Amino acid sequence: MTEVVLKLLFIVLVVAGGMLPLITWIERKQSAVMQDRIGANRADLMGVTLLGLLHPAADVLKLFSKEDVVPEGANRLLHLLAPVIAFVPALLVLAVIPYGGAYRFGDTTLSLVVADVDWGMLFVFAAGSIATYGAVIAGWASNSNWGLLGSMRASAQMISYEVTMGLSLVGMFMVAGSLRLPEIAAFQDQSFRLLGFLLHMGFVEGETLPFHLDLLRLPMWGIFLQPLGFLLFLTCIMAENKRPPFDAPEGESELIAGYHMEYSGMRFGLFYTAEFLEVPVIGAIVATLFLGGWAIPFLSQETIIAFVAGGFGEGFATGLCLVLHVLCFLTKVAILIWLQMALRWTLPRFRYDQVMDLCWKMILPLSILNVFVTGAGILLVEGVIS
Amino acid sequence: MQGEFVGLLLLLALALVIAGGFLLLHRLLSPRREFAEKLLPFECGELQIVSPHQRFSVKFYLVAMLFVLFDLEAVFFYPWGALFRELGGYGLAVMAVFTVPLVVGLVYEWRKGALEW
């Protein structure tokens, strides 16, 4: 019980408490750098500006002190509930994402994930589809035509990309043989030989590859085993979050602010928080599925423990592994956050018909194709690379 | 297994408390200066002519129906994918048979223009 609470506090404090304010700051600073501006640097506390790091705190204070306006004719209950429905699933997904492996200390095993469930990835999909309701209810409940248009677009876009998000991942499930996120991450904590086919096709004599050819390896990461799946899934999950370039539901130049235009103060703040919270959550999901999660490339857990345990004892080696793995995971998440920000400020917004065409006419056929190519690949060449 | 649900429920409770707490605190801290014009739904300076609570384009229902079809089929893929190694070539052949109607349906919708905006 205490263990669960501690793990929970860790993820909530690191991701929601630490990363979230930083991300709002990084987004402003990175966009400023990309557009040759200085960026947010005005918020100061007795002359100290800290490069604009006080802005997240100022934002929160500002949101709290804004008037809470509910438009006339709005459904007051649903208007209040919508931001909560949008916010809760974003945080809930964090429970099933492993931020470290499983570690044996003496008799006890410490597994660094709050909820180690067989249906981990299904839970991510399910929570993601709950978030759709937040956007739809928000637009409908606020008695505004712009809001309604925005929520209609959000509903069609989010449910369309939900289908392809699931299908584009089937290839990864087949490769890893599980829907459990810790198992998928642990599966990627190994490497495969690039030249294994030489052995199987008889180009090399003997049972094993010569040492120098055996060195040519790649980590067993989803991005190498499922490159197409990675691209499709990243596109889908970014479209699911409705951030630019997929922000047709709230496109400010056509729909003012879309489904959350009649929201002010902290009610708007919750939508904003949910959207920003999704950025590290997406980073964590993609890192776990395709970038090996906590796995350090070419240095599997056994290798580290076997190497360090001799000199410093098993307990220290395992502890070192734990720290390195968590740091490695956070690094990967940070890289993916940077990638999302760079994409957001590089690409212009898709037109709405382009968003839907991309989903149904490009990603859906490609992801079905990916399933069968992967299947044939596993049956034909699995023995060759391992 | 129970421990996992404890974690999920705790996180759910925490998320609800955070969201509820934010909204409550906002209620307590925010000023209230309401007047009739401010409460009107925003319509670029005009009065609202058309109520948003009416029927709208059937286009969106079509997408929702396609979603139900394809998402149900996608759900069959997950357990099959996780068990793929055990099912082997037979599993792949069976899934190919299962996918043919799905692809035929997709082609039909495509040709009928259901995917056009």
Determine phi and psi for A205, rounding to 5 degrees: -75, 155
> Does A132 touch chain B if contact means CB atoms closer than 8 Å?
no
- Asked if residues A174 and A187 have their Cβ atoms less than 8 Å apart, the reply is no
**What amino acid is encoded at B53 in this protein?**
H
Q: Where are the domains of chain A?
A: 1-65, 66-385
With 70 as the cut, is the pLDDT of residue A202 above it? no
**Three-class SS state of A119:** coil
How near does any CA of chain B get to the CA of A208, in Å? 25
Residue A47 in this model has a pLDDT that exceeds 80: no
| Contact check, Cβ <8 Å, B84/A174 | yes
Predicted local confidence at residue B76, as pLDDT: 87
On the question of a cis peptide bond just before residue A182, with omega within 30 degrees of 0, the verdict is: no
Mean pLDDT of B14-29: 88
Instruction: Give the residue-averaged pLDDT of A337-346.
Output: 89
Q: Where are the beta strands (DSSP E) in A190-320?
A: 191-193, 217-219
Is the model's pLDDT at A384 over the cut of 60? Answer: no
At B7 the pLDDT is 81
Look at B26 and A63 and tell me if their CB atoms are within 8 Å. Answer: yes
- Token pair of B24, please? 């409550």
Q: Is residue A386 over pLDDT 50?
A: no
Greater model confidence, A15 or B8: B8
Contact in structure between A121 and A173 (CB atoms under 8 Å): yes
Pairing of strands A102-105, A108-111: antiparallel
pLDDT 10s digits, A231-269:
999 999 988 888 878 887 787 777 777 788 888 888 888
Helix, coil or strand: residue B105: helix
Encode pLDDT of A80-111 as tens digits. Answer: 889 999 899 988 888 888 888 787 777 777 78
ipTM field: 0.86
pTM: 0.88
Nearest CA in chain A to B89: A379
Mutation target among B6, B18, B26, B97 for the A interface, most CBs of A within 10 A:
B26
How far, in Å, CA of A86 to CA of B24, rounded?
Answer: 17
B3 pLDDT tier (thresholds 50, 70, 90): low
pLDDT, tens digit, 9 for 90 and up, residues A273-327: 888 888 889 999 999 999 888 888 887 777 877 777 777 777 888 888 888 888 8
pLDDT band at A366 (very low <50, low <70, confident <90, very high): very high
CB contact, 8 Å: A299 with chain B? no
Q: B75 contacts in A (CB within 8 Å)?
A: 166
Q: Whose CA is closest to B48, among A140, A73, A268?
A: A73
Task: Provide the phi-psi class of A263: left if phi over 0, else alpha when psi is between -120 and 50, else beta.
Answer: beta
Contacts of B33 in chain A (CB under 8 A): 67
User: What are the CA-CA distances from residue A104 to residues A115, A317, B98 (Å)?
Assistant: 18, 11, 43
**Residue A382 pLDDT:** 65
CB contacts, 8 Å: A128 with chain B: none
- In this predicted structure, the answer to whether residue A383 has a pLDDT above a threshold of 70 is no
Whether the CB of A108 is below 8 Å from some CB of chain B: the reply is: no
Q: Please indicate whether, in this complex, the C-beta atoms of B82 and A378 are within 8 angstroms of each other.
A: no
Contacts of A295 (CB under 8 A, 6+ apart): A101, A185, A186, A188, A189, A219, A221, A325, A328
Closest-CA distance, B21 to chain A, in angstroms, reads 10
Domain borders along chain B are 2-112
Which stretch of DSSP H or E encloses residue A197?
helix A196-200
Q: What is the mean pLDDT of residues B5-28?
A: 87
Sign of the alpha-carbon torsion through A198, A200, A205, A206: positive
Chain A residues lying within 8 Å of B96, measured CB to CB: 372
Q: Which of residues 143-172 of A touch B (CB under 8 A)?
A: 143-148, 152, 155-156, 159-160, 162-163, 166-167, 170-171
Q: To which residue do tokens 């129970």 refer?
A: B2
Residues of B in contact with A92 (CB under 8 A): 8, 11-12, 15
| CB nearest B33 (choices: A64, A67, A147) | A67
Of A72, A84, A171, nearest to B40 by CB-CB distance is A72
Does domain B2-112 fall under CATH 1.20.58? My reply is yes
Residue of higher predicted confidence among A200 and A124 = A124
- For A174, the token pair is 């087949």
CB contact under 8 A, B96 and A372: yes
Q: Which residue of A has its CA nearest to B74?
A: A167
Who among B26, B34, B83 is closest to A265 (CB)?
A: B26
In total, the C-beta contacts within 8 angstroms joining chain A to chain B are 215
Percent of chain A with pLDDT strictly greater than 70: 95
Alpha carbon distance B21, A182 (integer Å): 32
Separation of alpha carbons A217 and A327, rounded Å: 23
Across all residues in chain A, what is the average pLDDT? 84
Mention every residue, 6+ apart, whose C-beta is less than 8 A from residue A179.
A118, A119, A120, A121, A122, A173, B78, B79, B82
For A250-263, the DSSP string reads G-HHHHTTGGGTT-
pLDDT at A344 over 80: yes
- The two beta strands, A191-193 and A108-111, are unpaired
- Check A159 against B48: CB less than 8 A apart: no
What's the token pair of residue A247?
């922000």
User: A272: closest CA among A117, A138, A74?
Assistant: A138
What HEC string does A139-182 produce? Answer: HHHCCCHHHHHHHHHHHHHHHHHHHHHHHHHHHHHHHHCCCCHH
Q: Are B91 and B83 in contact (CB under 8 A)?
A: yes
Q: Quick check: A145 and B43 in contact, CB under 8 A?
A: yes
Summarised one tens digit per residue, pLDDT across range A163-176 is 898 889 898 888 88
Scanning A43-82 for CB atoms below 8 A from B yields 63-74, 80
- Provide mean pLDDT across the span A362-371: 91
Q: What's the confidence (pLDDT) of residue A286?
A: 92
Calculate mean pLDDT across residues A181-201: 78
User: Please, are residues A184 and A285 in contact by the beta-carbon 8 Å criterion?
Assistant: no
Spatial separation of the C-alpha atoms in residues A92 and A267, rounded to whole Å? 19
Count CB-CB contacts under 10 A for residue A302: 11
Q: How many Å is the maximal CA-CA distance in chain A?
A: 81
Reported in sequence order, the residue ranges of A253-359 that DSSP labels E, i.e. its strands, are none
